[in-house]
């Protein structure tokens, strides 16, 4: 067997084992740092949306899912340092791309948006949280939810006031989608996972 072949096999193996390690490690990290049920649910919801975005865009679903899962992982334990603690941990684990995306998942932190991963986490985070908030006040939750009802509530400043509307608009802009298209996509992901997410 020539050296080139051995090297490429090693490369494939390292990707395979790294993938398995990071997915399992991501879940462990999240569980060790976050106890709040609503934060855990937010992490899982953004994980699902990120995974679906990767599938749609032909990107790496596992990398996107882990980014979604861990983007707020240090928020409960280190609110003043968020997201630096989780960013450092991911760098240690050899995941610089995920670390960079999480470091910039709020546009006001002014981290340059280089990869599609950097842009997608902005697009997924606030809007997913907002759509869940919209669903929770409806009798049928996510079932039958229309894009229009979400855009209407976005214009109501008193509803889910903590959600930064600017982030929502910038997120869609960053990935080059119409806002309505992104809302519809996220509603669809939530509907497909409504039982697990308790949105029925
Ligand atoms: Fe978040």
Ordered by where they begin, the domains of the chain are 3-192 (1.10.3210)
Residue 106 Cα to ligand 1 midpoint, Å, equals: 9
Residue 68 Cα to ligand 1 midpoint, Å, equals: 8
Residue 39 Cα to ligand 1 midpoint, Å, equals: 8
Residue 144 Cα to ligand 1 midpoint, Å, equals: 25
Residue 3 CB partners (closer than 8 Å, separation 6+): none
3 state DSSP class of 33: helix
Residue 148 Cα to ligand 1 midpoint, Å, equals: 23
Residue 143 Cα to ligand 1 midpoint, Å, equals: 23
Rounded CA-CA distance 44/75 in Å is 15
Residue 43 Cα to ligand 1 midpoint, Å, equals: 7
Tens place of pLDDT per residue across the chain (200 aa): 454 554 555 554 445 455 556 888 899 999 999 999 999 999 999 999 999 999 999 999 999 999 999 999 999 999 999 999 999 999 998 999 999 999 999 999 989 999 999 999 999 999 999 999 999 999 999 999 999 999 999 999 999 999 999 999 999 999 999 999 999 999 999 999 999 999 99
Report yes or no: 159 and 98 within 8 Å, Cβ to Cβ: no
Rounded CA-CA distance 55/167 in Å is 23
Q: What pLDDT sits at residue 13?
A: 46
Rounded CA-CA distance 180/150 in Å is 9
Residue 9 Cα to ligand 1 midpoint, Å, equals: 37
The model's pTM is: 0.89
Report yes or no: 76 and 34 within 8 Å, Cβ to Cβ: yes
Q: What pLDDT sits at residue 24?
A: 83
């Amino acid at each position: 067997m020539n050296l080139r072949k051995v090297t490429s096999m090693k490369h494939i193996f390292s990707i395979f084992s790294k993938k398995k390690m990071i997915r399992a490690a991501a879940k462990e990290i999240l569980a060790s740092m976050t106890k709040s049920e609503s934060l855990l649910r937010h992490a899982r919801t953004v994980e699902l949306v990120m995974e679906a975005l990767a599938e749609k865009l032909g990107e790496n679903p596992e990398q996107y899912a882990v980014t979604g899962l861990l983007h707020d992982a240090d928020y409960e334990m280190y609110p003043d340092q968020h997201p630096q603690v989780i960013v450092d941990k991911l760098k240690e684990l050899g995941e610089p791309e995920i670390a960079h995306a999480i470091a910039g998942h709020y546009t006001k932190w002014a981290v340059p948006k280089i990869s599609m991963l950097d842009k997608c986490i902005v697009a997924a985070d606030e809007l997913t949280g907002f759509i869940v908030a919209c669903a929770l006040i409806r009798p049928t939750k996510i079932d039958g939810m229309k894009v229009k009802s979400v855009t209407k509530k976005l214009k109501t400043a008193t509803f889910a006031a903590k959600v930064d509307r600017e982030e929502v608009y910038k997120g869609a802009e960053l990935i080059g989608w119409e806002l309505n298209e992104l809302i519809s996509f996220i509603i669809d992901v939530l509907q497909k996972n409504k039982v697990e997410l308790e949105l029925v």
